[in-house]
Structures are given as structure tokens and as C-alpha cells.
Amino acid sequence: MTFVAALFNVALLLYVTRRLLGVPLGWGRVAIVSLISSALINDATQLYLDTFQIDPITPTAAAVALTVVVVGCLITAQMIVLTVIEAFLPTSKVPSLSAVVTGFPAWVRRVRRYAAIWWILLRRGLTAYVGPITTSDLPHQTDLETPRIARSLRLALTDAGVTFVKFGQMLATRADLLPPAFVAELSTLHSEVAAERWEEVRGVVTEAIPTPLDQTFAELSETPMAAASVAQIHAATLADGTPVVVKVQRPQARKQVTADLDILRRFAERLEQQTDWGRSIGAVALADGFAQSLHEELDYRVEVANMRGVAASSELIVPKPFEHLSSAEVIVMERLAGKPLSAAGPELAELSAERRQELAEALLRGVLQQIFVSGVFHADLHPGNVILTEDGLGLLDFGSVGRLDRSVRTALIMLVHAVEREDSIAATDALLGLLDRPAELDDRALEREIGSLLVRFGDGLAPGGTAALFTDLLNLVVRHGFRVPPQLAAVFRTLGALDGTLRILDPDIDFVAVARARGSELAQELTGPEAVKEQVEHQLSTLLPVLARLPRRISRISEQLEDGSLTVNVRSLGHPGDRAWVGGVAHQLNITLLASMLGIAGTFLITREGGALLLPTVGLFQFLGLICLFLAFTLGTRVLANIFFHGR
């Protein structure tokens, strides 16, 4: 009977709490509270019958009514307990039984990975920064300590594997988030991994290519030409004699990246919850953006689309992909005959200074064309991704490609044009068009600092000075409270990496002079007679319907002004969300006031003596007071539950 009563109490409590509180509760905690309540009720039932002199065999109507009210009070008491538990341990934080069972293997893998990462942090001396983090714990206390910690962080990320290496490379592009020492150190990150054996990757290639390998390729080298953290490259020749390369993803790369991204997001959540710094940079959003870009990089169909986009927007050589032989894990593409600039020292030495200058300017102009005109640009132009061929320069590795919409491209062109004219006012306006304006921005101070920057770099840059220009510009916008969008950070990363690549071709190239000339050309194209005419025609075409209705509307307004019937209606709560918010506040306030009034009335009635007796020890006033208190506690619990469950 006790078990049956407990089951009945669980079912009743689940139904009643969801109806009265208006919110869901986990069945596990409801069952525990119900079982404890049932055990206490069994011991207190006889005491209740004796106290109020109730005959359980032939109860009177008053006894039944009192029992119903008492049972209601017990249910309310359980709801109060559940609401208090919810305040300290929300249901959403407790996994369901099915989630525990199905997620146990993943939990075991995660714990093992946590242990491995903790050991890496311990070896690199970084465990002090993993505990409860405060702003004072962040690694930029002194100029001497910062480089040491930055170096330890780089080594730890390298030890942790591909996901953390790529995360460090992404952070290296965000000079608006990290101190300069960290940006410089993380910029040198690369994965040191050995190539997979052919037996390990052959299955990936066989599954990805629809036709048998011996029919598809006349030759396929089992020894990779190059190996990276995610993929490796094999030389091959198609059946028709076309030389190609096969880029194949490592078999365990996606699985390892997915597991590490889960850990990375959990750490970002912790950072954002426990630190002001984490909240200010949006650690969770940063981790989510990184996860999305890394998943895209692991899908080689996206890379094939990137190759098409860059090829259509640039005069630089881009290898042709064979899409019918490519998939999410494998890319078969044209093999470019040449050497990457990082390994083409002897070949470059044989070229004349004029030819090297021509190649450097062609590369810079091609990249600027991608950024400013098409908006699709290669975002990882280190020397290993630029290849020297007999016909010119080609690009490799399109896993990281940036995209800019038309408005951002126009603002960038205007910024470059303003820099060319040393116009600090126009440069400030262009910068405000690119970035979200901070709430407390000092426009005059920003304009003065931009003017100073333009004067300092106005006569061109010394070799390697482009990186200093971008660093100073990023420091400037961060000092004034700007947040740099990821797509603009990709532009800065591209141009910063391109500077080092250009120096290999032509150590004396004036990066800013070429960029200014090209930016000025593009700006003149945007502001020239033909461009202005096109813009005016476009704007007029969109305004024609409005202009056609304008005379009729002016006439109506004039008539209403003449006869005094013109009225203006303003709805302060016109948006449905505003009305819903006000309605919710009013609803909560009404329930709170009603609960308070019932609580006062119940307390007054229970303490009042005299009146008719319903039972030998219970008067009418006490009975009514008990009902009022029952309702007051029920409504009060609903208010608290709505607060704790807000937004769920």
C-alpha cells in the first residue's frame, strides 16, 4: 500500500506541479521528493486523525473538506521544496537517465582527453591559469613574464594536437583580444606530425572516389608529397595522363576535432561564466565561430567551392579541381608544376630583380583584387601556399577563405583612399563604417590618433613595416573600445601574412604604395562619373514607386491640415515583444499581490477565535484561513517558479 501510495503521489505531483506552476520539472527529483513525503505522511497520518478527531471509516463532510485542504497544503509544500531545489540545481543542469546511459562512452573519452590535456598543461607550467579564473590571473602582469607564458602556451597547443593548433592560429589573428607577445608567439604555430601510412588512408580514398582506383589513376604514389595535421598530399596521374594531386583527410581527424571542440566549448563556457574578460570578448561566441570554420575546413566540398570562387576573382593561378572525383574527405586537383616560395630560393635567385618585382606586385594586386572587388579572398597566404611556376604565381590550400559583403568592401576602399590622401576625417568615417561604434566613443580623440598614424606611415614602410602598421591600427581601435569582426580580422591576417611572402619575392617592395595606388584606382572607379551614374539610376529605380505616390499623400495631408482633422498616432508598445513583456510583468505583479492578500487574510483568520466549529478542534475561521494560506503559498510558489524558469 505504501508503494502504491507513493506511485500515486508521484503521478499526482507531476500533474499538479506542471498545471499549477506552469513549468516542467524533471521526473527524477519529483519521484525522490514524493517518496520522502510519502514516508513522512505514513507516520503522520494517525497523528492527524487523532488530533482532529476524525473517524477514517465514516468521515463527516467537514472532515473530508479539511483533509482535501490538508492534502493540498502537502502538495504545495512539496512544490515549494521542488522550487527551492530548482533554484540551486536547475533541471537543465541534470542530465536525463537516457542521456547518462547513451553519453557514458563519450564521457569516458572526454575524461581521458581531459587527463591528457591536464598533463600537457602541467608539463608546460600553465596549470595556475586553469583554476577559478579572475581578471588578475590573466597572463599579462609584467613584460618579462608575458613572453614566457606565451611561449608555454604555444608549446602546449602544439602538444594538444590539430584542433588546439588551429585555435591558436585563429587567436593569432585577433590582436584585438590578446597582448602583442601572445599574437607574435601564436603566429609561429604549426603542426609537427608524421604522415599516415598508405594502408591507413587508402580506405578513405577508395570510399570517396566512385570508380576503382586502378581505373581512375594511371599512377598513384603511396608516399605523400607533404603532410599536415588534417590532411596529406599524394602525387598521381589520371588515366588520361593528366598530372594531379590527391588531398586526403586523415582517417581520425574529424573524430578528434569533434571531441576537442566539445572540450574547447566547455572551457569557453567556464571562462565566460567566471571572468569579466571572458564575457567581454564573448568566449562562447568565439569558440562557436571557430568550430563552424573548422567544420567547414574539414568538409573538402567547401574547399572546392572556395577554389572556384577565388579562381573567378583573381588573375593568379588556381589549380582546377576535378569535382566528380572529389568528396568531403578527398580532393583531386590539377598539379601545378613549380615550387612553393618557402622552398624556391634557388629558382628565385635566377630571376632578375625586375621580374621578381613584377611577380611581387602581381601577387599584391591579385590579392587586393580579391579583397576589394570580388570579396572572396585567400586568407592564409604564407610562403608555403604561394607556388612559383613558369607562368607566374599560383595559390594552394583553400581551406581558409574569407568573404566580404559589398558594404564592407566599399568602406575598406574608402579607408585605403583616405590613407592615400592622409585624410584623417575620411579615414575615421570609413573606420566607423567598418566597425560597430562603441557606446562612449570620443570621436575627436580617435580622429587625432588616426591622423598621427597616417603621418607616421605616410612616406611608405620599411621592410616588414606592414605588420607594424596593422598592429598599431588594431591597438588603436581596441583602445577606443571597438570590436573587430572576424571577417575584418581575416583581412588583417591575410595582409599581414602576405607582407612576409612579398618580402621573399622582392625585399624592397613598398607594400603601402602599391596598396594605396590600387585602392585609389578602385575608389576613383567607385566615385567616377560612370559609377555615380549607375548608383543614381539604381537609387531612382527603387524610389520611383515612392515618388509616384508622393503627390497623392501630400494632397491628403494638405486637406487634413486645412480642415483641422490631421492626427498623429504613436504606439509606444507597438512591437509584440514589448506588449508581451509588459503583460508578463503585469501578470506576475497581479499574482504576487493576490498571494500577499491571501497570505494576510489566512493569517488573520487562523488567529481569530470564536465562530462555528466544523470539527471538535477546527473552527470555520481556521478552516477558511487554511484555504487562504494554501492558495497564497501555491500562487507564491508559481511566482518563484516563473522566476527560476525564466526563458525556458
Contact (Cβ atoms closer than 8 angstroms) between residue 138 and residue 277: yes
| pLDDT 10s digits, 628-641 | 887 888 788 777 77
| pLDDT 10s digits, 271-288 | 787 777 677 667 787 788
Q: Tell me the percentage of the chain whose pLDDT exceeds 70.
A: 77
**Cell numbers given for 638:** 508559481
**Cell numbers given for 523:** 575608389
Q: Which helix (H) or strand (E) holds 219?
A: strand 217-220
Nearest-10 Cα torsion for 141, 143, 146, 147: -170
State yes or no: pLDDT of 237 exceeds 90: yes
Q: pLDDT at position 384, please? A: 80
Helix (H/G/I), strand (E/B), else coil: 243: strand
pLDDT band per the 50, 70, 90 thresholds, residue 235: very high
Q: Tell me the percentage of the chain whose pLDDT exceeds 90.
A: 4
Top pLDDT among 360 and 314 is at 360
Measured distance CA(450)–CA(533) in Å, rounded: 32
Top pLDDT among 296 and 493 is at 296
For residues 441-466, average pLDDT? 70
List the 386-389 sheet strands across, edge first: 338-340, 386-389, 392-395
State yes or no: pLDDT of 403 exceeds 70: yes
| pLDDT 10s digits, 559-610 | 888 888 878 777 766 677 777 778 878 888 888 898 889 888 888 888 887 7
pLDDT band per the 50, 70, 90 thresholds, residue 526: low
| pLDDT 10s digits, 94-143 | 666 666 666 677 778 778 888 888 888 888 887 766 555 444 444 444 44
* Choice among 285-294, 351-360, 568-577 with the minimum mean pLDDT: 568-577
Query: Which residue has 481569530 as its cell numbers?
Result: 608
State yes or no: pLDDT of 146 exceeds 80: no
Long-range CB contacts (< 8 A, 24+ apart) of 108-115? 109/259, 110/259, 110/262, 110/263, 113/259, 113/260, 113/263, 114/263
pLDDT band per the 50, 70, 90 thresholds, residue 552: confident
Compute the chain's Rg from CA coordinates: 35
| pLDDT 10s digits, 529-542 | 766 676 677 677 77
Query: Which residue has 566613443 as its cell numbers?
Result: 441
Q: pLDDT at position 471, please? A: 64
State yes or no: pLDDT of 262 exceeds 50: yes
Top pLDDT among 229 and 203 is at 203
Contact (Cβ atoms closer than 8 angstroms) between residue 497 and residue 382: yes
For residues 44-67, average pLDDT? 71
What is this structure's pTM?
Answer: 0.61
The overall average pLDDT reported for the chain is: 77
Burial tier of 130 (Cβ tally within 10 Å: 0-12, 13-18, 19+): middle
For residues 482-504, average pLDDT? 77
* Choice among 207-221, 378-392, 478-492, 588-602 with the minimum mean pLDDT: 478-492
Q: pLDDT at position 238, please? A: 92
Burial tier of 296 (Cβ tally within 10 Å: 0-12, 13-18, 19+): middle
State yes or no: pLDDT of 329 exceeds 70: yes
Q: Supply angle C-alpha 268, 271, 272, rounded to 5.
A: 85
Q: pLDDT at position 330, please? A: 92
CA distances from 373 to 32, 209, 532, 611 (A): 65, 36, 17, 90
Q: What are phi and psi of 615, to 5 degrees?
A: -135, 165
**Where does 296-371 show beta strands of DSSP type E?**
330-334, 338-340
Q: pLDDT at position 82, please? A: 76
Q: How remote is the C-alpha of 440 from its chain's centroid?
A: 25
pLDDT band per the 50, 70, 90 thresholds, residue 245: very high
State yes or no: pLDDT of 242 exceeds 80: yes
Q: Which helix (H) or strand (E) holds 134?
A: none
Top pLDDT among 1 and 397 is at 397
Measured distance CA(386)–CA(7) in Å, rounded: 71
Closest CA to 420 of 510, 315, 535: 510
